[in-house]
Amino acid sequence: MHESDSVPATGPAELLRLAGTFPWLPQLEVGAGWVALLWDMAEDLEDLLGRSALVGGRVRLPEIKARHGRLRITGGGLAGYGLEYEVALRSILGRAEERAAHTCERCGRQGTTALHNGHWRTLCTWHHAAMAERARRPGP
């Protein structure tokens, strides 16, 4: 069980808490709905590699962001670790990306990816409907 099970993903405050708890994470360019899965990823990385390796920069994750409705995590190079660590690292990052593909980036509920105003978003049914309603409203 991860601590994220008790972390509500409801707003920007949770993103700040995540960044404060795991200062080695890069600037996060994601919605608050993905906080829980990123929290789990960060805990798993610390369990695998240790906080000192992550804080010390021996593992680089230069970018974590939403792109085309998906979670994109770049980097992840390991200096001085064996192949088994590389495989485990890729598994942890891949698991986070896969979870995000089915998680609303706004609220954390189960989601699907769809196109809204030229942008791909992974959203729950309610947030998809809200985006569609906003698109139908006449502009100012």
Residue 108 lies in a domain: no
Residue 130 lies in a domain: no
Give the tens place of pLDDT for each residue, 40-68: 999 999 999 999 988 888 788 889 999 99
Full-model pTM: 0.86
Question: What is d(CA 116, CA 121) in angstroms, rounded to the nearest whole number?
Answer: 7
Asked whether the beta carbons of 116 and 64 are under 8 A apart, the reply is no
Give the tens place of pLDDT for each residue, 13-31: 999 999 999 999 999 999 9
Q: Which residues contact 55 (CB under 8 A, 6 or more apart)?
A: 23, 24
Residue 119 lies in a domain: no
Q: What is the DSSP secondary structure assignment for residue 7, as one 8-state letter?
A: -
Q: Which domain holds residue 61?
A: 3-102
Tally of domains in the chain: 1
User: Once rounded to an integer, what is the mean pLDDT over residues 81-87?
Assistant: 88
Residue 93 lies in a domain: yes
Residue 31 in tokens: 């919605």
Residue 111 lies in a domain: no
Residue 121 lies in a domain: no
Written as one string, the DSSP assignment of 28-77 is: EES-GGGHHHHHHHHHHHHHHH-HHHHHTTSEE--EEEEETTEEEEE--E
Residue 69 lies in a domain: yes
